[in-house]
Chains A and B, each alone.
Chain A
Amino acid sequence: MASATANGRPAAPPRVVPPERVGLEYRLSPGVAVRIGILGIVAIAIFSVLFLRLWALQVLSGTQYLRAAQNNQLRTLPVQAPRGAIVDRNGVPLVTNVAGTSIRVWASDLPKHGRYTELQRLARLVHVPFAQIATELRKHAGDPLAPVTVDEAAHDDVVFYLSEHRDEFPGVEIARTYLRHYPYSDLAAQVLGAVGEVSPQQLESPGGRQFRPGDEIGQSGIERAYDAYLRGESGVAHLRVDSLGRPLSALQVSNEPTPGYELRLTLDVKLQQAAERALRYGIVEARNQGAWAANGGAIVALDPRDGSILAMASDPTYSPSLYVGRKPARLLRPLLDRGAAEKANFPGLDRAIEGGYPPGSTFKPVTALAALEEHLISPYDTLPCKGQVTIKGQTFKNWDPYVYEGMTMPVALAASCDTYFYQLGYKFYQLPRERKQPLQEWASRFGFGQKTGVDLPGEQAGLLPTIAWRHATYTPKTDPHHWQIDRLWKPGDSIQLAIGQKDLLVTPLQMARFYALIANGGRLVTPHLAEDVEQPGGGRTPAIVRRRFAPPTPQRVNVDSSALEVVRAGLDEATHGTIGTSQAIFGSFPYRIAGKTGTAEKTVFLPGQKTGLNLSQSWWCGYGPTDNPTIVVCALIENGGHGGTAAAPAALKVFEQYFGRQATQHGTVYSD
């Protein structure tokens, strides 16, 4: 910008007469010209920056921003797949789906102002405490795009109201869902397990990448073990929304969900029902017989030939439908909170696989087989059976103080003579060091102290005490004064182990598996519940089996068949001989049943009590028919007193259902 005064021509005289000017005639001084030049440069710089930025955004990255803008209005929603049904061995449905309507909140779409009042209104509508919704929302705060389910099974009138007043509830979504339905209510609750929303911990776990927040997955039992088959694959739908998250179009499903497969179990509904009834009957029976603290138990019925579980009951139980929809927290507390669970005596616990109990006399066949195999005794050697026996200055009592006779092994099994087995236990103790611990070794071969491998989560291994275990367990920490004595394996340890007492802990399923081994001639089965997964047929199309779960071949444990024969004779004597401990129960049953009672002492902390009580756990395990066993039943009544008075009658009920025959008479029970 050159100075205008450098102009050669004279400036045209201004025709508009300027008003009188103050001061000198204004000249554009070089200084001011420079300043105007600087302003010009600044202007050019500013416009260059704007043009370049506009160019970068629109021309260079336009497509990318266009996609982002399109996603801005498109919301991708998962479409829940219907979860596969669970049926029993005959195809009777145990768990099915019903359609439901859920109400979900998208935190990111809630209005900035007034979200509090909106949520309070919603809380009143769906009858969920506001605090609960707020807590859930806070839990999901890390992921604003994951919806929070406020009500899984909303009532129709609530749904109608919400859809009519949709504009007043931005961020609230009404979605179709499937809800688990249990036609048999609480039947086999612990086995079937429950379905629930995937937890943040599960999402972060190594296998959690397959889940999305808000997914419903199997959380326990069969639902969890076979979740991958049952879950199916959720589809994808798109929804166009405006900036407030209000839908602008109908839901467009772009990927149809794949329904989950149907799962067929080995359970038999009728037998399962019978087992659960029998369990409750056994508990009542035990109380009637004076075992006032009887308050729970388990019954397992399995096929000794392949290990398929026919029934698995655990008491107390709960209704899995508690997990469906939003029920008062009070009802769910015994399943989630430890203190409440203790008060309710752990209804969520599957005692058949998770409960550890001393087996008592039902363990005697293990001792018998081990002693025969190790040639510590021959089957028809007699040992004195007395009211008590004193070994190494310590007196061990028999359950029947009045008996005094010599007994062979079958008779000792039938009469459940403790003193006979005490002496066997002492023989095991006296073995030289190089013979190691054959009783524990045989017990371990029979599956004790280890998981059975059943296809359920949460199985316990129990405890098989050994010298090494004792040594490792008792340290100065457990008892600063006597730990050096405690950690020694003493005669009493072997003697008590011989009758299934002291430290030994087994699960009812382990016990059933061992009796299956006796019944099937020495093969260890793997108990299992799943038979196959099927693609459900509809109308005329038959169901297609997608995968059959072949049970692992039963493993031979190389136990001598003649030794097994001796034990079988003893168990048969126990249910049919005059001295048999459960003869009064099974003696008259049309099918020949063999089995053993057990009464195991256990220190029990009853709900709400601080001091432990020494209470008897009532056991009965056996099989039938004896010539070709097709079913093993193992019953346990917690704190149920004698095996013959509580567990045996309960087990009989299961056999009655299985064989379809009633026992005719009921004698007086005299048993351990």
Chain B
Amino acid sequence: MSNPATLGPAVVGGAAVTRDTARGARPRRTLSRRNIMLYGTLIVISLYYLLPLYVMVVTSLKGMPEIRMGNIFAPPLEITFEPWVKAWAEACTGLNCDGLSRGFWNSVRITVPSVILSIAIASVNGYALANWRFKGSQVFFTILIFGAFIPYQVMLYPIVILLREMGVYGTLTGLVIVHTIFGMPILTLLFRNYFTSVPEELFKAARVDGAGFWGIYFKIMLPMALPIFVVAIILQVTGIWNDFLFGVVYTRPDVYPMTVQLNNIVNSVQGVKEYNVNMAATILTGLVPLTIYFISGKLFVRGIAAGAVKG
């Protein structure tokens, strides 16, 4: 089709009519009405959501005199990191005056074992429920899922008694156990559904190849389940890090997680309200889930199982 003139008689005196010379990719207008509407709306909405974050960052970088002037949207005239240092290391909650750092390390000590333990157990649960249907597995699964719908408040006090009897009430161990148990329904569902989607023939092939329960789990299923593990880690890290209720109920002040400590710093009523310190402390607490989102977003690898079935 090198010569458009052969396509039709519409070429008059060398001035080609557009329709008859059309060729290649269809042209697209970037500034169409539709695009302006679409991107305009998107920009307005994102500004709306970003504004509070902007205010927090800006306020945390100001000194108290500047904050008192009341221009909350104005960028800081003089940037100071002192509120951040204070929030991390000096802010007082009750008798302790070592800031959020104590709570941060407590939260790490709670989150890491809880995440590892809950995911390890739930993935094996899900794998067993998906591939090794045993008698009563359906009933077991239903009961487990039912657990996800019972409000936490109902179970708060019974668990206090349970932990007391076990001798772990008020300790980090107790809180880790609570988090692991409460993560179980949703995580098991997550893993079970993922493992059910793995082609059954893969599982059969591994059985013919002589792999047992753990052999298939570790050598076949686990390497294929990376995407769902990332999802589970995101869920658990953010969920457990942001938890306030269990932290405040099942621990003592010296092992309070970061969220509880943040609350105590922000709500302490002695002296002046240090808005800049509060803002800095809040950002610091939210930083961990935020980082997890940014890093792991790229790890959502899709189609890892693509080679197993016809692709």
Q: Do A and B come from one complex?
A: no
Q: Which residues of B contact A (CB under 8 A)?
A: none
Q: Which residues of A contact B (CB under 8 A)?
A: none
